[in-house]
């Protein structure tokens, strides 16, 4: 969808997009907004258990609520996926961060089959954010400003002859320096926050994990700042042995804290103030005008431009990876007491639906 308030195209989770009731034509919704799986091997505590939660148990209610909020749109598209893709081809490549790659629905099958391989032509059609990214700032710089700068690479419409040309083209553009800066902010405590229009306070995002952890960094609030506050729900990890009922004794607002509710209102949800809130909190719902994104004409590697010429960048550091190198892996080790819970969400980008499995994966042993 294209947000007409800032003329930026973003990928909307289906649950978020359903709040924009004036869309025309009506999207062809998938059957489910969120599909979540929870590991039955985990030692869960259930809300109807007559006994108190044990120190080895994890509150299932808390975990379900956490994953549902991700499915409602509390998720960032910024990741080191492109860095992981390029890293095997360059010695000592400095880590960098970008939003997700945009993929038009009309791409050629011959191009699609080259994705995540070192074979054939490699396209770049631009980077695309999630709605939450609209409100993120790196110090005083809005993250969408960095996205717009990065989209100058090849005018977001370039077909490279090989993966080596693509890597060399990226480094030759100097835009990678902005992406490196974004990575630095994402791995420096309290450097990136959500700043909502008309509000002086900010919500600090999780940027303390080094290296960057896809699925935890930037898609959660800062653990050190919020794990023992009313906005505890969206920290990337939680200690076992603590139930929602116990947290409510300390924080009468319930598991969805006031700052989280304001973020959800800014994503388009209508929030009903709690009767116990004194004075009542006013959550201002924001629903800017959205229109369906229509791919520009002449995108390389699509049915509208099937014979586009491929760029060759002969000079640069890209070289063949050593024989022992496997394909880039985005798996990062990290300990988390959340059990396995991943949330594929349906995203809409055009009347032709594109479903992207954006995983918010919490595992006891690893995160993807």
Residues 76-103: tens digit of each pLDDT: 999 999 999 999 999 999 999 999 999 9
Tokens 């042993």, located at residue = 365
8-state DSSP, 51: S
Q: How far is CA 327 from the centre of its chain?
A: 22
Distances (CA, A) of 351 to 98, 295, 346, 354: 26, 11, 13, 9
pLDDT tens track for 307-353: 999 999 989 999 988 775 444 444 333 333 333 333 444 444 333 23
122: tokens are 């490699």
Name the 3-class secondary structure at 44: strand
What range does the domain containing 227 cover?
A: 1-368
Sign of CA dihedral 177, 179, 183, 188: positive
CB 271 within 8 A of CB 253: no
Residues 6+ away with beta carbon under 8 Å from 225: 190, 204
Q: How far is CA 133 from the centre of its chain?
A: 8
What is the rounded distance in angstroms from the CA atom of residue 308 to the CA atom of residue 124? 13
What is the rounded distance in angstroms from the CA atom of residue 357 to the CA atom of residue 167? 25
Give residue 275's pLDDT band: very low, low, confident or very high (50, 70, 90).
low
Domain count for the chain: 1
Say if residue 366's pLDDT is above 80: no
For residue 51, the tally of other CB atoms under 10 A from its CB is 7
Largest CA distance in the chain: 69
- Characterise 92 by phi-psi region: left (phi > 0), alpha (psi -120 to 50), beta (else): left
pLDDT tens track for 25-36: 999 999 999 999
Tokens 């055009």, located at residue = 350
Predicted confidence at residue 109, as pLDDT, reads 95
């Amino acid at each position: 969808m294209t947000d007409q308030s800032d003329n930026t195209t973003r990928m909307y989770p289906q649950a978020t997009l359903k709040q924009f009731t004036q869309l025309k034509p009506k999207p062809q919704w998938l059957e489910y907004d969120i599909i979540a799986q929870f590991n039955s091997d985990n030692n869960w505590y259930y809300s109807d258990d007559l006994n108190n939660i044990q120190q080895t148990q994890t509150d299932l209610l808390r975990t379900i609520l956490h994953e549902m909020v991700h499915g409602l749109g509390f998720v960032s598209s910024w990741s080191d996926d492109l860095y992981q893709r390029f890293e095997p081809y360059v010695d000592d490549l400095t880590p960098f961060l970008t939003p997700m790659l945009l993929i038009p629905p009309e791409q050629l099958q011959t191009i699609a089959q080259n994705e995540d391989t070192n074979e054939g032509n490699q396209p770049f059609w631009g980077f695309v954010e999630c709605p939450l990214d609209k409100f993120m700032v790196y110090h005083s710089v809005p993250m969408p400003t960095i996205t717009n700068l990065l989209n100058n690479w090849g005018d977001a419409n370039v077909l490279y002859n090989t993966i080596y040309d693509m890597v060399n083209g990226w480094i030759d553009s100097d835009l990678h320096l902005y992406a490196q800066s974004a990575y630095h902010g994402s791995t420096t405590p309290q450097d990136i926050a959500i700043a909502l229009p008309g509000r002086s306070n900010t919500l600090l995002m999780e940027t303390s994990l080094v290296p960057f952890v896809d699925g935890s960094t930037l898609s959660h609030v800062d653990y050190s700042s919020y794990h023992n506050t009313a906005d505890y729900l969206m920290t990337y990890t939680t200690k076992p042995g603590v139930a929602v009922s116990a947290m409510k004794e300390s924080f009468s607002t319930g598991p969805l804290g006031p700052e989280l509710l304001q973020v959800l209102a800014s994503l388009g949800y209508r929030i009903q103030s709690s009767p116990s809130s004194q004075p009542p909190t006013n959550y201002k719902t924001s629903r800017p005008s959205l229109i369906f994104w229509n791919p520009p004409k002449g995108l390389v590697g699509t049915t509208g431009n099937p014979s586009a010429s491929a760029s060759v960048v002969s000079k640069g550091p890209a070289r063949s990876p050593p024989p022992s190198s496997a394909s880039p892996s985005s798996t990062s080790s990290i300990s988390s007491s959340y059990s396995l819970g991943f949330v594929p969400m349906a995203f809409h980008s055009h009347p032709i639906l594109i479903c992207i499995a954006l995983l918010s994966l919490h595992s006891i042993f690893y995160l993807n």
